[in-house]
């Protein structure tokens, strides 16, 4: 049985397959999304996610097809003219590109691949309506700490702050009184098959979207914030959603709550430390992200002295462990190791042993 | 084990659960959507759907989160100013509403609930760019015959024709030299859990979208036609898609091809005839759609003399068969029976026996 350390799609969380089996047993592929049975499933996911993320009542739990979709929806629904993007990798750049594709005036601050942002150096343009932060740049293994994101909101209270937490949720300990919106997809830290995006958005965003719509703005159709929210009030969705995935997400969030989010965070830190400590001592690997504060806890990126493909192939052949290649141009020289809840300390240690024996 | 005659989500096709089991065995929840393994899965689905629908090379096979999403995408990508909608039920009306939400000039021809369209009575406005037909109105059980849709294209060759075949595919025998686009979702006739939309679109639509984009039109971001198509050339998707569902769809399409689409159509006709023949003779039920040419083969709608909830509950209690209620205002007076490939003649006969014994 392969062990996946790939940064997404990633290893399935150990309980996921049996939750899917139960979903089939319960006929969740056939029930109506306008039934009480579905509303109960949505409500359960909502409750478990609220507990896991300490999400206040001001925020709704909405479902899309992917986190990529949320990039588009959040810009369409909350940016009338200007957005602002902290760009330091391929995914934060895509978020920025989406704003331009939607004909918004997209401001940005750029950092080289492998570098991160601190609040003190960020200057937000006066007319920006939405500040887009990436809690974890999956492409480069750079994180932006929750505390830095909070500082940005404190200094810009009249603007929305959105956090892409695709490859880190529920690791970042976000204070949702200082974060208007956050989103992720289920195939990363939640260890589920892809096909569902999760979008937290607050009432202030809903109000903005409603105002934009009233004043002839185009905020989309079924997945506009007003449409999603109106359905959410009854624990329904505008379209027939990925019912099984919503069920399984609720169950995995329940599993996470049973472990405790603080334990998940501590365990993530411990596993990350083991990986980075290994790389520090290694002759074959080097930590890519130099600034320790910006180093991701959930996606560890290492430079390989002798190319990545040999490392990846050897590890796969020897021990059936699958690790990720570097992203884009760095495919040949870097490896990326996902440090999600689905892999435990023993598996990380086994990987370290293999990497050390190359 | 319940038998679902609900019009969507519907009964799972008998092979679906084992295809999902195989997907788990193959680690399809963890593989990269940029891998050769994924491209092979996409290509397989593409080939099987092409065979099933006799889809020419001019058309691409694209994936979205739902058919609802396609309503939005097709309008954003192919309508610069004006669309035209044949509206005769709740779903064709939503398609029409989406065009208005996107600030297009949406023309329409309306028919009362339960009535359908023939080509000869349809007058398409001169400046309409896209003609939206619904092959099967799930809400009312009204179909528009493929031959009538073809006639509309023949009379309007300079306009796009799009066919919503959500609750009928692959039953309608569309000639794709006369249909620019068609789409469906997998939780109806394909008998799969929801969470995937399938969109066929041709090169002329792609070119239109590219022209609109070039001339400052907003055609969306990751799911614009140019973006979907560019990725499709490599059998990839812009975002991480519902990989498992794409795999299972390819497998179900393969199962359908093994049966043969003509056999599926004949069997559908036979089962529909049995249901309608029963209703004709029944004292308790009455066929809702009066015009036989407009009567749906895939969603049979019957008026209940003594209310629908008693019928639905009795059938469920006696024999664990689940039938759908009427849509919207007709919930209390009608039943809807899905006649998809997942239910066979024996099951339909068993349902008829139960309905007859009320």
Query: Measured between alpha carbons, how far is A55 from B213 in angstroms, rounded to an integer?
Result: 39
In angstroms, the separation between the Cα of residue A40 and the nearest Cα of chain B is 17
Q: What pLDDT score does A139 carry?
A: 95
Say yes or no to pLDDT of A89 above 90: yes
Cα separation, B262 vs B135, whole angstroms: 18
Check residue A251 and give its pLDDT: 98
Task: Report CB contact under 8 Å: A68, B222.
Answer: yes
Start-to-end CA distance of chain B, whole Å, equals 21
Per DSSP, the three-state class of B291 is coil
**Chain B residues within 8 A of A223 when measuring between CB atoms:** 69, 72
Q: Is the pLDDT at A194 greater than 90, yes or no? A: yes
Work out the minimum CA distance from A235 to partner chain B, whole angstroms: 17
- CB-based contacts of A317: which residues, under 8 Å, 6+ apart? none
Strand, helix or coil for residue B107? strand
For A10, the closest of B4, B23, B30 (CB atoms) is B30
Asked if B216 reaches chain A (Cβ–Cβ under 8 Å), the answer is yes
d(CA A108, CA A94): 12
Which residue in chain B has the smallest CA separation from A7?
B32
Biggest distance spanned by C-alpha atoms of chain B: 64
* Cβ–Cβ under 8 Å, residues A126 and A51: no
Which tokens is A22 given? 């139960």
Q: For B269-336, give the DSSP string.
A: HHHHHHHHHHHHH-SSEEES--SGGGB-SSEEEEEETT-HHHHHHHHHHHH-EEEEEPSGGGTTTEEE
For A66-88, how does the pLDDT look when each residue is reduced to its tens digit (9 = 90+)?
A: 999 999 999 999 999 999 999 99
- Please list every residue in chain A whose beta carbon sits closer than 8 Å to the beta carbon of residue B97: 221
Contact A252, A170 (CB under 8 A): no
Please name which of B249, B258, B244, B261 lies closest in space to residue B45, comparing C-alpha atoms. B249
Residues of chain B with pLDDT under 50: none
Inspect the interface and report whether the beta carbons of A222 and B102 lie closer than 8 Å: no
pLDDT digits (tens, 9 = 90+) for A56-65: 999 999 999 9
> Which of B91, B99, B239, B324 to probe by mutation at the A interface, max A CB count within 10 Å?
B239
Cα–chain center distance at B128: 23
CA distances from A322 to A7, A120, A338, B54, B254 (A): 10, 38, 10, 39, 30
Judge whether B106 is closer than 8 Å to chain A, CB to CB. no
Task: Identify which of B52, B132, B148 has the alpha carbon closest to the alpha carbon of residue B92.
Answer: B132
Distance (Å) from the alpha carbon of A225 to chain B's nearest alpha carbon: 13
**Measured between CB atoms, does B35 come within 8 Å of chain A?**
no
3-state secondary structure of B326: coil
Region of B280 on the Ramachandran plot (φ > 0 left; ψ -120 to 50 alpha; else beta): alpha
Mean pLDDT score, A263-288: 98
Closest CA to B78 of B181, B229, B216: B181
d(CA B179, CA B157): 10
Residue A344: pLDDT band (50, 70, 90) is very high
Please report, for residues A135, A287, A343, the alpha-carbon distance to residue A272 in angstroms, rounded to integers and kept in the order given. Answer: 16, 12, 11
Spatial contact of B238 and B227, defined as CB atoms under 8 Å apart: yes
What average pLDDT does chain B have? 97
3-state DSSP call for residue B137? Answer: strand
What mean pLDDT is predicted for residues A310-336?
A: 96
- Cα dihedral B230, B232, B235, B238, rounded to 10, equals 70
Q: Is residue A291 over pLDDT 90?
A: yes
Kindly tell me the sign of the dihedral angle through the C-alpha atoms of A144, A145, A146, A147: negative
SS3 label, residue A71: helix
Taking the Cβ of residue B325 and every Cβ of chain A, the question of whether any pair is shorter than 8 Å is answered with no
Contact B297, B171 (CB under 8 A): yes
Q: pLDDT tens for residues B18-69?
A: 999 999 999 999 999 999 999 999 999 999 999 999 999 999 999 999 999 9
A6/B contact by beta carbon, under 8 A: yes
Q: By the CB < 8 Å criterion, does A141 face chain B?
A: no
Contact between A30 and B6 using a beta-carbon 8 Å cutoff:
yes
Domains detected in chain A: 3-10+260-356 (3.90.1150.10), 16-258 (3.40.640.10)
pLDDT recorded at residue B36: 97
Tokens of A50: 């609220």
Report yes or no: A109 and A117 within 8 Å, Cβ to Cβ: yes
CB B77 within 8 A of CB B224: yes
B27 touches A: beta carbon within 8 Å: yes
- Looking up tokens 């049995």 gives B274
A8 touching B (Cβ < 8 Å): yes
Q: Cite the DSSP H helix spans in B79-164.
A: 90-101, 146-155
CA distances from residue B341 to A215, A300, B252, B255, B347 in whole angstroms, order as listed:
47, 48, 11, 11, 11
> How much is the pLDDT for A16?
98
Taking the CA atoms of residue A194, residue A61, residue B184 and residue B171 in that order, the dihedral angle to the nearest 10 degrees is 100
B244 with A193: Cβ contact below 8 A: yes
DSSP type of residue B35: S
CB contact under 8 A, A239 and B68: yes
3-state secondary structure of B327: coil
What are residue A335's DSSP bridge partners? A302, A325
Check A322 against B16: CB less than 8 A apart.
no
Q: Which of the 8 DSSP states describes residue A295?
A: B
Residues of A with CB below 8 A from B195's CB?
Answer: 65, 195-196, 241-245
How does DSSP assign A157-177, residue by residue? TTSEEEEE-TTTTTSS---TT
Tell me which residue in A9, A30, A220 faces B4 most closely, judged by beta carbons.
Answer: A30
Of the pLDDT bands very low, low, confident and very high (cuts 50, 70, 90), residue A1 is confident
Peptide bond into A9 cis (omega under 30): yes
Read off the pLDDT of each residue in A109-135 and give the average, rounded to a whole number: 98
Residue A8: what pLDDT?
A: 83
Helix (H) or strand (E) holding A181: strand A181-185
- Chain A with chain B: Cβ pairs closer than 8 A: 167
pLDDT over 90 at A246, yes or no: yes
Question: Residues A296, A297, A298, CA angle at the centre, nearest 5°?
Answer: 95
Nearest to B55 by CA among B165, B214, B219, B191: B165
């Amino acid at each position: 049985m392969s062990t996946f350390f790939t940064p997404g799609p990633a290893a399935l969380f150990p309980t996921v397959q049996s939750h899917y089996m139960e979903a089939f047993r319960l006929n969740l592929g056939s029930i109506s999304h306008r039934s009480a049975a579905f509303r109960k499933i949505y409500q359960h996911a909502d409750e478990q996610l609220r507990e896991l993320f300490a999400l206040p009542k001001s925020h709704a739990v909405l479902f899309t097809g992917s986190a990529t979709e949320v990039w588009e929806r959040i810009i369409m629904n909350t940016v009338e003219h200007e957005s602002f993007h902290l760009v330091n990798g391929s995914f934060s750049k895509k978020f920025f590109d989406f704003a331009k594709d939607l004909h918004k005036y997209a401001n940005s601050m750029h950092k080289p691949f492998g570098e991160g942002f601190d609040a003190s150096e960020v200057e937000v343009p006066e007319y920006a309506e939405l500040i887009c932060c990436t809690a974890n740049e999956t492409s480069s293994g750079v994180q932006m700490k929750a505390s830095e994101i909070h500082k940005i909101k404190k200094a810009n209270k009249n603007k929305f702050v959105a956090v892409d937490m695709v490859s880190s949720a529920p690791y970042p300990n976000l204070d949702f009184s200082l974060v208007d919106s956050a989103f992720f997809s289920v195939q990363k830290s939640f260890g589920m098959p892809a096909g569902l995006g999760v979008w937290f958005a607050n009432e202030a965003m809903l109000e903005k979207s409603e105002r934009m719509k009233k004043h002839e703005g185009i905020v989309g159709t079924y997945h506009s914030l007003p449409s999603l929210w109106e359905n959410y009030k009854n624990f329904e969705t505008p379209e027939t959603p990925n019912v099984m995935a919503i069920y399984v997400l609720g169950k995995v969030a329940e599993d996470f709550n049973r472990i405790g989010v603080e334990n998940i965070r501590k365990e993530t830190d411990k596993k990350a430390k083991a990986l980075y400590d290994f790389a520090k001592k290694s002759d074959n690997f080097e930590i890519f992200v130099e600034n320790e504060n910006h180093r991701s806890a959930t996606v560890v990126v290492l430079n390989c002295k002798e190319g990545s493909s040999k490392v990846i192939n050897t590890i796969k052949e020897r021990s059936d462990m699958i690790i990720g290649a570097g992203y884009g141009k760095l495919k040949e020289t870097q490896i990326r190791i996902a440090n999600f809840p689905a892999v435990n300390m023993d598996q990380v240690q086994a990987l370290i042993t293999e990497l050390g024996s190359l």
